[in-house]
Amino acid sequence: MKKLLFAATLVGVGIVIWRLVAQEDEARDLWAEVTDKV
């Protein structure tokens, strides 16, 4: 049972990190556009 909980936690953390990285990429693209104009 503990292994299942551990696996579920790993998957949850992985999804959160993946979504944060995806948002960071979008923010970086926006930042690149802003800095190009300056």
Angstrom distance (rounded) from CA 31 to CA 7: 36
Angstrom distance (rounded) from CA 14 to CA 16: 5
DSSP code of 2? H
Structure tokens at 3: 């292994």
pTM of the model: 0.57
The count of structural domains within the chain is 1
Angstrom distance (rounded) from CA 17 to CA 22: 9
Question: For the chain, what is the total number of helices (H) and then of strands (E)?
Answer: 1, 0
Which structural domain range is residue 18 located in?
1-38
Angstrom distance (rounded) from CA 19 to CA 23: 6
pLDDT in tens, the chain (38 residues): 899 999 999 999 999 999 999 898 888 898 888 888 77
